[in-house]
Amino acid sequence: MQSTVQTVTSADGTRIAFESSGEGHPVILVGGAFNDRTTVAALAAALAPGFRAIAHDRRGRGGSGDAPAYAVEREIEDLAALIEHAGGSASVFGHSSGAILALEAAAYGLPIARLAVYEPPYVVDGARTAPGGDFAERLRALVEGDRRDEAVALFLTEGADVPAEVVAGMRSEPVWGWFTTLAHTLAYDAAVCGPGQSLPVERLSGITVPTLAIGGDQSPKWMLDAVRAVAAAVPGARHVVLPGEDHGVLGRPEALLPTLTDFLS
């Protein structure tokens, strides 16, 4: 389906670019680190026959603007502007750190009809070593020092728990250039995830939106632990594990489609 890039203006004046495809109930797709609207485009296309799928560039990415200082609240306001444009209410799907942003938006009280989150990267019950409390500041300092490769490596190893030897091998792959281009936004994702990527049980317990927490059975145990913890913290949330899937599920939208369609309908 054809779509055209449009923009909305967030509360602080930042322009947020998005593409909308399909008709029906609006669903806003929120990518995580190293993602923009192009990386959720395949899922948007899969949803579009039955929904109005809205894929946006989070601030600092793609066609969206940015502000001199970052705050998670500004990204929540970005989502609020998109929801207002969509008619005042929308469902939201978030992936990875985008899932945490979606949860924060729901906790903040945005008019979200239904919320689906895929593997929000909280660190629960000591399942792995958590990032240090100064993680976002260290990422920011590396980018400001034009050490973008180091920022990407730090985010992957400390934030996503990717083994250092795997990261070393990724440096020679074409995707590394994409990663470094978005390195300046990694501190944003670290801020969204919060200090130590700890689960904010009290905030999540205040969410009243129907919520679905999804994981893939091929993902690391710590991610699946996080999915279960989110489902336990959000009142009435459902928990689903997709067989044969891992954290890269955005590249296989057909695996998500039946579960999402059933829930969002």
C-beta of residue 160 within 8 angstroms of C-beta of residue 121:
yes
Using the Cα atoms of residue 222, residue 147, residue 178 and residue 71 in order, give the sign of their dihedral.
Answer: positive
156 Cβ partners below 8 Å, 6+ apart? 162, 167, 170
Residue-averaged pLDDT of the chain: 97
Q: What is the DSSP letter of 127?
A: S
Q: Each residue of 103-152: pLDDT tens digit? A: 999 999 999 999 999 999 999 999 999 999 999 999 999 999 999 999 99
pLDDT tens sequence across 37-93? 999 999 999 999 999 999 999 999 999 999 999 999 999 999 999 999 999 999 999
**Strand-by-strand arrangement of the 112-118 sheet:** 5-9, 15-21, 52-56, 26-30, 90-95, 112-118, 211-216, 238-242
Write down the pLDDT at residue 2: 56
How confident is the model at residue 227, as a pLDDT? 98
As a whole-number percent, the residues of the chain with pLDDT over 70 amount to 99
Query: Do 143 and 121 touch, CB atoms closer than 8 A?
Result: no
**Phi and psi (nearest 5°) for 5?**
-70, 130
> Mean of the pLDDT values across residues 16-28?
96
Structure tokens belonging to residue 2: 């054809």
Bridge-based pairing state of the strands 15-21 and 52-56: antiparallel
Q: Give pLDDT, residue 4.
A: 84
193-198 average pLDDT score? 97
pTM, full prediction: 0.97
Q: Is the pLDDT of residue 3 over 80?
A: no
Q: Return the pLDDT at 199.
A: 98
Task: Tell me the pLDDT tens digit for each residue of 220-253.
Answer: 999 999 999 999 999 999 999 999 999 999 999 9
Mean pLDDT value across residues 187-199: 98
